[in-house]
Amino acid sequence: MAALIAENFRFLSLFFKSKDVMIFNGLVALGTVGSEELFSVVAFHCPCSPARNYIYGLAAIGVPALALFLIGVIWNNHTWNLVAECHKRGTKNFSAAATFLLFGSIMGRASVAPITWSVISLLRGEAYICALSEFVKPSSLDKFPAEYGAEVLAKFPCRDVPANLTKFRDEVTRRLRYESQLFGWLLIGIVAVLIFLTKCLKHCCSPLSYRQEAYWAQYRSNEDKLFRRTAEVHSRILAAKNVKQFFGFVALDKEEKELVQEFPVEGVQPSPQWNAITGVYIYRENKGFPLYSRLHKWAKGVEGNGPTPEGHELLFLAS
Protein backbone atom coordinates (compact mmCIF):
# COMPACT_ATOMS: atom_id res chain seq x y z
CA MET A 1 0.00 0.00 0.00
CA ALA A 2 2.76 2.43 0.95
CA ALA A 3 4.55 1.62 -2.31
CA LEU A 4 1.43 2.42 -4.34
CA ILE A 5 0.92 5.75 -2.56
CA ALA A 6 4.58 6.67 -3.04
CA GLU A 7 4.32 5.74 -6.72
CA ASN A 8 1.35 8.08 -7.19
CA PHE A 9 3.07 10.99 -5.43
CA ARG A 10 6.14 10.43 -7.61
CA PHE A 11 3.88 10.45 -10.67
CA LEU A 12 2.27 13.74 -9.64
CA SER A 13 5.68 15.35 -9.20
CA LEU A 14 6.81 14.31 -12.67
CA PHE A 15 3.40 15.14 -14.14
CA PHE A 16 3.60 18.83 -13.32
CA LYS A 17 7.22 19.11 -14.47
CA SER A 18 6.72 17.39 -17.83
CA LYS A 19 5.98 19.40 -20.97
CA ASP A 20 6.68 16.84 -23.67
CA VAL A 21 3.54 15.25 -25.11
CA MET A 22 4.84 11.67 -25.18
CA ILE A 23 6.25 11.92 -21.66
CA PHE A 24 3.02 13.58 -20.56
CA ASN A 25 0.88 10.76 -21.97
CA GLY A 26 3.21 8.13 -20.55
CA LEU A 27 3.02 9.66 -17.09
CA VAL A 28 -0.77 9.88 -17.33
CA ALA A 29 -0.91 6.17 -18.20
CA LEU A 30 1.51 5.26 -15.41
CA GLY A 31 -0.44 7.28 -12.87
CA THR A 32 -3.68 5.67 -14.04
CA VAL A 33 -2.20 2.18 -13.62
CA GLY A 34 -1.11 2.99 -10.08
CA SER A 35 -4.49 4.52 -9.26
CA GLU A 36 -6.34 1.52 -10.67
CA GLU A 37 -4.23 -0.85 -8.57
CA LEU A 38 -4.91 1.24 -5.49
CA PHE A 39 -8.64 1.32 -6.29
CA SER A 40 -8.76 -2.48 -6.70
CA VAL A 41 -7.01 -3.05 -3.39
CA VAL A 42 -8.91 -0.48 -1.34
CA ALA A 43 -12.29 0.24 -2.90
CA PHE A 44 -13.48 -2.59 -5.16
CA HIS A 45 -15.76 -5.07 -3.39
CA CYS A 46 -18.27 -6.97 -5.51
CA PRO A 47 -21.72 -7.04 -3.85
CA CYS A 48 -22.30 -10.60 -5.07
CA SER A 49 -26.01 -9.96 -5.41
CA PRO A 50 -28.21 -10.45 -8.49
CA ALA A 51 -28.95 -7.24 -10.41
CA ARG A 52 -26.38 -5.34 -8.34
CA ASN A 53 -23.29 -7.07 -9.68
CA TYR A 54 -23.86 -5.86 -13.23
CA ILE A 55 -24.37 -2.21 -12.25
CA TYR A 56 -21.45 -2.22 -9.81
CA GLY A 57 -19.06 -3.93 -12.22
CA LEU A 58 -19.82 -1.56 -15.09
CA ALA A 59 -19.66 1.45 -12.75
CA ALA A 60 -16.24 0.34 -11.50
CA ILE A 61 -14.94 0.46 -15.07
CA GLY A 62 -17.01 3.26 -16.59
CA VAL A 63 -17.37 5.91 -13.88
CA PRO A 64 -13.64 6.34 -13.12
CA ALA A 65 -12.94 6.31 -16.86
CA LEU A 66 -15.51 9.07 -17.39
CA ALA A 67 -14.07 11.10 -14.50
CA LEU A 68 -10.53 10.72 -15.89
CA PHE A 69 -11.75 11.77 -19.33
CA LEU A 70 -13.37 14.93 -17.97
CA ILE A 71 -10.24 15.74 -15.95
CA GLY A 72 -8.18 15.29 -19.11
CA VAL A 73 -10.44 17.71 -20.97
CA ILE A 74 -10.22 20.24 -18.13
CA TRP A 75 -6.41 20.05 -17.91
CA ASN A 76 -5.92 20.45 -21.66
CA ASN A 77 -4.89 24.01 -22.59
CA HIS A 78 -6.64 23.64 -25.96
CA THR A 79 -9.97 23.36 -24.14
CA TRP A 80 -9.71 26.77 -22.53
CA ASN A 81 -8.16 28.30 -25.62
CA LEU A 82 -11.22 27.08 -27.51
CA VAL A 83 -13.53 28.55 -24.87
CA ALA A 84 -11.71 31.88 -25.10
CA GLU A 85 -11.84 31.73 -28.90
CA CYS A 86 -15.59 31.09 -28.96
CA HIS A 87 -16.21 33.81 -26.38
CA LYS A 88 -14.11 36.51 -28.04
CA ARG A 89 -14.17 35.73 -31.73
CA GLY A 90 -16.51 32.79 -32.37
CA THR A 91 -15.58 29.86 -34.61
CA LYS A 92 -16.27 31.62 -37.92
CA ASN A 93 -12.52 31.87 -38.60
CA PHE A 94 -12.04 28.10 -38.52
CA SER A 95 -12.80 25.69 -41.31
CA ALA A 96 -14.62 22.42 -40.63
CA ALA A 97 -11.34 20.51 -40.94
CA ALA A 98 -9.61 22.81 -38.46
CA THR A 99 -12.47 22.45 -35.97
CA PHE A 100 -12.38 18.66 -36.33
CA LEU A 101 -8.61 18.72 -35.83
CA LEU A 102 -8.96 20.79 -32.67
CA PHE A 103 -11.63 18.58 -31.11
CA GLY A 104 -9.68 15.49 -32.14
CA SER A 105 -6.61 16.82 -30.32
CA ILE A 106 -8.59 17.53 -27.15
CA MET A 107 -10.44 14.19 -27.18
CA GLY A 108 -7.30 12.21 -28.04
CA ARG A 109 -5.25 13.68 -25.20
CA ALA A 110 -8.11 13.29 -22.72
CA SER A 111 -8.63 9.63 -23.74
CA VAL A 112 -5.20 8.42 -22.56
CA ALA A 113 -6.14 7.96 -18.90
CA PRO A 114 -9.65 6.46 -19.36
CA ILE A 115 -8.43 3.98 -21.98
CA THR A 116 -5.57 2.96 -19.68
CA TRP A 117 -8.02 2.53 -16.81
CA SER A 118 -10.36 0.41 -18.94
CA VAL A 119 -7.53 -1.76 -20.26
CA ILE A 120 -6.08 -2.43 -16.81
CA SER A 121 -9.55 -3.18 -15.42
CA LEU A 122 -10.23 -5.66 -18.22
CA LEU A 123 -6.82 -7.35 -17.87
CA ARG A 124 -7.34 -7.75 -14.12
CA GLY A 125 -10.83 -9.12 -14.74
CA GLU A 126 -12.39 -8.58 -11.31
CA ALA A 127 -14.95 -6.00 -12.43
CA TYR A 128 -15.88 -8.00 -15.54
CA ILE A 129 -16.31 -11.21 -13.53
CA CYS A 130 -18.42 -9.38 -10.97
CA ALA A 131 -20.65 -7.84 -13.65
CA LEU A 132 -21.33 -10.94 -15.75
CA SER A 133 -21.12 -13.94 -13.43
CA GLU A 134 -24.90 -14.05 -12.89
CA PHE A 135 -25.53 -14.11 -16.65
CA VAL A 136 -23.62 -17.33 -17.27
CA LYS A 137 -26.08 -19.96 -18.47
CA PRO A 138 -26.20 -22.97 -16.12
CA SER A 139 -26.80 -25.16 -19.16
CA SER A 140 -23.32 -24.27 -20.43
CA LEU A 141 -21.78 -25.85 -17.32
CA ASP A 142 -21.45 -29.63 -17.43
CA LYS A 143 -23.57 -31.33 -14.73
CA PHE A 144 -24.46 -28.09 -12.97
CA PRO A 145 -27.10 -28.82 -10.27
CA ALA A 146 -30.54 -27.80 -11.50
CA GLU A 147 -31.63 -26.44 -8.11
CA TYR A 148 -29.16 -23.54 -8.31
CA GLY A 149 -29.71 -20.44 -10.42
CA ALA A 150 -28.63 -16.84 -10.90
CA GLU A 151 -28.51 -16.09 -7.16
CA VAL A 152 -25.75 -18.62 -6.62
CA LEU A 153 -23.89 -17.63 -9.80
CA ALA A 154 -23.90 -14.02 -8.58
CA LYS A 155 -21.99 -15.14 -5.47
CA PHE A 156 -19.18 -16.78 -7.45
CA PRO A 157 -16.91 -13.66 -7.42
CA CYS A 158 -17.02 -13.69 -3.59
CA ARG A 159 -16.22 -17.43 -3.34
CA ASP A 160 -19.22 -17.73 -1.01
CA VAL A 161 -20.64 -20.93 -2.52
CA PRO A 162 -21.39 -24.47 -1.38
CA ALA A 163 -18.49 -26.90 -1.53
CA ASN A 164 -20.09 -28.93 -4.34
CA LEU A 165 -20.03 -25.83 -6.59
CA THR A 166 -16.35 -25.00 -6.17
CA LYS A 167 -15.31 -26.54 -9.49
CA PHE A 168 -18.11 -24.67 -11.29
CA ARG A 169 -17.05 -21.40 -9.66
CA ASP A 170 -13.47 -21.95 -10.86
CA GLU A 171 -14.71 -22.72 -14.36
CA VAL A 172 -16.96 -19.63 -14.52
CA THR A 173 -14.21 -17.39 -13.13
CA ARG A 174 -11.69 -18.77 -15.62
CA ARG A 175 -14.10 -18.34 -18.54
CA LEU A 176 -15.02 -14.75 -17.66
CA ARG A 177 -11.42 -13.79 -16.95
CA TYR A 178 -10.49 -15.12 -20.38
CA GLU A 179 -13.20 -13.00 -22.02
CA SER A 180 -12.21 -9.92 -20.02
CA GLN A 181 -8.53 -10.20 -20.87
CA LEU A 182 -9.37 -10.90 -24.51
CA PHE A 183 -11.34 -7.66 -24.69
CA GLY A 184 -8.46 -5.87 -22.94
CA TRP A 185 -5.88 -7.09 -25.47
CA LEU A 186 -8.21 -6.27 -28.35
CA LEU A 187 -8.64 -2.73 -26.98
CA ILE A 188 -4.86 -2.36 -26.76
CA GLY A 189 -4.49 -3.53 -30.35
CA ILE A 190 -7.21 -1.20 -31.66
CA VAL A 191 -5.75 1.80 -29.82
CA ALA A 192 -2.23 0.99 -31.05
CA VAL A 193 -3.43 0.82 -34.67
CA LEU A 194 -5.36 4.09 -34.30
CA ILE A 195 -2.33 5.84 -32.80
CA PHE A 196 -0.12 4.56 -35.63
CA LEU A 197 -2.57 5.69 -38.33
CA THR A 198 -3.03 9.06 -36.62
CA LYS A 199 0.71 9.69 -36.43
CA CYS A 200 1.12 8.70 -40.08
CA LEU A 201 -1.75 10.97 -41.14
CA LYS A 202 -0.40 13.85 -39.07
CA HIS A 203 3.06 13.70 -40.63
CA CYS A 204 1.69 13.15 -44.13
CA CYS A 205 -0.62 16.16 -43.89
CA SER A 206 1.77 18.41 -42.00
CA PRO A 207 2.78 21.56 -43.92
CA LEU A 208 6.06 21.61 -41.96
CA SER A 209 9.24 19.68 -42.44
CA TYR A 210 10.37 17.45 -39.60
CA ARG A 211 13.03 19.94 -38.50
CA GLN A 212 10.68 22.93 -38.64
CA GLU A 213 8.08 21.03 -36.65
CA ALA A 214 10.73 20.26 -34.01
CA TYR A 215 11.73 23.94 -33.98
CA TRP A 216 8.09 24.96 -33.56
CA ALA A 217 7.74 22.63 -30.59
CA GLN A 218 10.88 24.11 -29.01
CA TYR A 219 9.63 27.64 -29.66
CA ARG A 220 6.23 26.94 -28.05
CA SER A 221 7.87 25.43 -25.00
CA ASN A 222 10.36 28.30 -24.59
CA GLU A 223 7.72 30.96 -25.19
CA ASP A 224 5.43 29.41 -22.60
CA LYS A 225 8.20 29.14 -19.99
CA LEU A 226 9.43 32.70 -20.55
CA PHE A 227 5.90 34.11 -20.63
CA ARG A 228 4.93 32.44 -17.35
CA ARG A 229 8.19 33.43 -15.67
CA THR A 230 7.94 37.03 -16.89
CA ALA A 231 4.25 37.27 -15.98
CA GLU A 232 5.01 36.08 -12.46
CA VAL A 233 7.75 38.73 -12.03
CA HIS A 234 5.65 41.46 -13.65
CA SER A 235 2.64 40.75 -11.44
CA ARG A 236 4.84 40.69 -8.32
CA ILE A 237 6.45 44.04 -9.13
CA LEU A 238 3.07 45.60 -10.00
CA ALA A 239 1.59 44.27 -6.75
CA ALA A 240 4.56 45.70 -4.82
CA LYS A 241 3.99 49.14 -6.36
CA ASN A 242 0.30 49.12 -5.47
CA VAL A 243 0.92 47.90 -1.93
CA LYS A 244 3.56 50.60 -1.44
CA GLN A 245 1.19 53.26 -2.72
CA PHE A 246 -1.46 52.14 -0.22
CA PHE A 247 0.71 51.67 2.87
CA GLY A 248 3.58 54.01 2.03
CA PHE A 249 6.06 51.13 2.11
CA VAL A 250 6.25 47.49 1.06
CA ALA A 251 8.00 44.64 2.87
CA LEU A 252 10.21 42.98 0.25
CA ASP A 253 12.89 40.37 0.71
CA LYS A 254 16.32 40.79 -0.89
CA GLU A 255 15.42 38.99 -4.10
CA GLU A 256 12.22 40.98 -4.55
CA LYS A 257 14.04 44.28 -3.99
CA GLU A 258 16.49 43.34 -6.74
CA LEU A 259 13.62 42.52 -9.08
CA VAL A 260 11.89 45.84 -8.41
CA GLN A 261 15.12 47.75 -9.07
CA GLU A 262 16.07 45.76 -12.17
CA PHE A 263 12.68 45.65 -13.90
CA PRO A 264 10.69 48.87 -13.55
CA VAL A 265 7.01 48.30 -14.33
CA GLU A 266 5.15 51.38 -15.51
CA GLY A 267 1.71 49.93 -16.14
CA VAL A 268 -0.37 46.99 -17.28
CA GLN A 269 -1.18 45.62 -20.71
CA PRO A 270 -4.60 46.67 -22.04
CA SER A 271 -7.30 44.03 -22.52
CA PRO A 272 -7.14 44.11 -26.35
CA GLN A 273 -3.53 42.92 -26.17
CA TRP A 274 -4.46 40.05 -23.84
CA ASN A 275 -7.33 39.09 -26.14
CA ALA A 276 -4.99 39.16 -29.14
CA ILE A 277 -2.61 36.59 -27.64
CA THR A 278 -5.32 34.36 -26.10
CA GLY A 279 -7.24 31.63 -27.89
CA VAL A 280 -6.81 28.73 -30.28
CA TYR A 281 -3.85 28.94 -32.63
CA ILE A 282 -3.51 26.86 -35.77
CA TYR A 283 -0.27 27.23 -37.68
CA ARG A 284 -0.33 30.14 -40.14
CA GLU A 285 2.04 31.90 -42.48
CA ASN A 286 2.15 35.51 -43.63
CA LYS A 287 3.84 36.24 -46.95
CA GLY A 288 5.66 32.93 -46.68
CA PHE A 289 7.00 33.57 -43.19
CA PRO A 290 5.82 31.32 -40.33
CA LEU A 291 3.87 32.65 -37.37
CA TYR A 292 4.46 30.22 -34.53
CA SER A 293 1.97 31.52 -31.95
CA ARG A 294 -0.57 34.22 -31.22
CA LEU A 295 2.12 36.15 -29.36
CA HIS A 296 4.43 35.87 -32.38
CA LYS A 297 1.60 37.02 -34.62
CA TRP A 298 0.84 40.01 -32.35
CA ALA A 299 4.53 40.96 -32.18
CA LYS A 300 4.70 40.98 -36.00
CA GLY A 301 1.63 43.23 -36.16
CA VAL A 302 -0.40 40.80 -38.27
CA GLU A 303 -4.11 41.58 -38.00
CA GLY A 304 -7.03 39.14 -38.19
CA ASN A 305 -7.33 35.46 -37.46
CA GLY A 306 -8.86 33.94 -40.54
CA PRO A 307 -7.37 32.97 -43.90
CA THR A 308 -6.46 35.88 -46.17
CA PRO A 309 -4.61 36.16 -49.49
CA GLU A 310 -1.40 36.99 -47.63
CA GLY A 311 -1.97 35.01 -44.42
CA HIS A 312 -3.52 31.60 -44.93
CA GLU A 313 -4.55 28.91 -42.50
CA LEU A 314 -2.69 25.62 -42.64
CA LEU A 315 -4.40 22.70 -40.97
CA PHE A 316 -1.82 21.89 -38.36
CA LEU A 317 -2.46 22.20 -34.66
CA ALA A 318 0.16 22.28 -31.95
CA SER A 319 0.33 18.99 -30.03
pLDDT, averaged in runs of 10, over the chain (319 residues): 43 43 57 59 77 90 91 86 72 65 84 89 90 85 76 82 80 91 95 89 80 90 94 93 93 90 87 85 82 91 56 46
In whole angstroms, what is the distance from residue 72 CA to residue 126 CA? 25
For residue range 3-47, what is the model confidence (pLDDT) as tens digits? 444 444 444 444 444 445 555 555 566 666 666 555 554 577 888
In angstroms, rounded to a whole number, what is the distance separating the alpha carbons of residues 47 and 57?
9
Burial of 128 per CB tally in 10 Å (0-12, 13-18, 19+) = buried
Q: Which helix (H) or strand (E) holds 208?
A: none
Q: Are strands 311-317 and 289-291 parallel, antiparallel or unpaired?
A: unpaired
How far, in Å, are 108, 119, 262 from residue 15 at the CA level? 18, 21, 33
Q: Where are the alpha helices (DSSP H) in the chain?
A: 2-17, 21-42, 52-75, 77-88, 96-110, 112-124, 126-132, 150-153, 166-205, 210-247, 254-262, 271-276, 294-299
Q: How far apart are CA 125 and CA 129, in angstroms?
A: 6
Residue spans per domain, the chain: 29-205, 210-300
- pTM value is 0.70
